[in-house]
Amino acid sequence: MTLPYGVFISFEGGEGAGKSSQIARLCATLKSCGIDHIRTREPGGCVEAETLRDLLVRDSHNNWTPKTELMLMNAARHEHLEKVIRPALKDGRWVICDRFCDSSLVYQGYARGMDLSVIEKYRADIVGSTMPNLTFVLDVDPMIGIPRSRGNVHENGQVNQETRFENLEMSFHEKVREGFKKVVLNDPDRCHLIDAHKNQNEVYMDMMSILLQKYPLLSVPKNTPN
Ligand code: TYD
C-alpha cells in the first residue's frame, strides 16, 4: 500500500498491559531500520496537552463528570493532533502513540457509560481521517494488570503517581477490557488483539508478525514519505 505520508501506529489496552515496554522495543527496531519516527502519548504529547493530562490522570481532587472528562481528552487530542501528529505524518515520519481515540470510546464510553454516538461525533470532528493505520490492543486480565500498574516505576525512576484511573474499582477495569475487545471486533483490519499474558518477547514477536505483514520495514525509505 502506498501512503501519502508517515505511518500512524497506536497502542491501546487496560492498565498494566505492558504498552510502554513494547513501544520502546518497537521504536528501537524502527531506529535500527533507519525509519524516522516519533514516540508520543495521550492524553498528552505536547505542552498544552500535557497540562490537561495532569488534570486528568492525577488522583487529586479531579472528580470530573464523564462528559467533562471526554471534552478534556478531546481538547488534549486536538492540540496533540494539530501540533505533533499531523505535522509528523506530513513529514513522512512514523508516529507511535501510547493510546489514542479508542481509549475514549472504551474508558468514557464502554466503561463510564457515555453514549457511544456522542463519543463518535467528537472523534469525527477532532480526529477526522487522521486515524491510526494500525492499532495494537494489548489484552491483560485486570487482576494481573492493575497490581502491575500500581507498582510501576516510570522510565525516569519515579513511582507512578498517575493513579486516578488505576484506583477505580475492578468492575470498571473489566468493562475496559471487554470494551477493547469490542473495538477490535468492530475494526478488525486496523485493530489487533495481542495476548499480553505471554512473556515480553512473545508479545513483541506477535506484534511484529502483524506489522511486517502490513509494512515490510526494510522497504520503507528513510526520512521520505512512503
Ligand atoms: P496512560 O498513562 O497511558 O495509562 P497507563 O500507563 O496506565 O496505561 O493513560 C492515562 C489514563 O487515561 C488511562 O487510565 C486511560 C485514560 N484515558 C481515557 O480515559 N480516555 C482517553 O481518551 C485516553 C487517551 C486515556
Q: Could you read off the pLDDT of 3-39 as tens digits, one per residue? A: 457 999 999 999 999 999 999 999 999 999 999 999 9
Query: Does a cis peptide bond (omega within 30 degrees of 0) precede residue 43?
Result: yes
**Burial category of 217 from C-beta neighbours within 10 Å (exposed 0-12, middle 13-18, buried 19 and up):** middle
Q: Is the CB of 107 under 6 A from ligand 1?
A: yes
Let me know if domain 7-214 sits in CATH 3.90.1010.10. Answer: no
Q: What is the pLDDT of residues 123-146, one digit of tens each?
A: 999 999 999 999 999 999 999 999
Q: Which three cell numbers stand for residue 10?
A: 497506536
Q: What is the pLDDT of residue 148?
A: 85
Q: Is 12 in the pocket of ligand 1 (CB under 6 A)?
A: no
pLDDT per position as a tens digit, 93-128: 999 999 999 999 999 999 999 999 999 999 999 999
Q: In the chain, what is the greatest distance between 2 CA atoms, to the nearest angstrom?
A: 50
Reference 73, options 95, 100, 46; nearest CA is: 100
42 C-alpha to center of ligand 1: Å? 7
Q: Is the CB of 72 within 6 Å of ligand 1?
A: no
Confidence (pLDDT) at 43? 97
Ligand 1 mutation pick, 57, 67, 150, max ligand atoms within 8 A of CB = 57
Residues linked to residue 98 through DSSP beta bridges, in sequence order:
11, 41
Which residue is closest in CA terms to ligand 1's atom 10? 57
Residue 157 scores a pLDDT above 70: no
What does the pLDDT read at residue 63?
Answer: 85
For the chain, which residues make up each domain, given as ranges?
7-214
Q: What is the mean pLDDT of the chain?
A: 90
Amino acid at residue number 101: C
Q: Which atom of ligand 1 is nearest to the CA of 14?
A: 8
Ligand 1 test: best mutation among 103, 135, 149, 158, most atoms within 8 Å of CB? 103
Query: How far, in Å, from the CA of 159 to the mean position of ligand 1?
Result: 17
Identify the pLDDT of residue 150: 79
The pLDDT tens digits of the residues spanning 53-84 come to 999 998 776 789 999 999 999 999 999 999 99
The model carries a pTM of 0.92
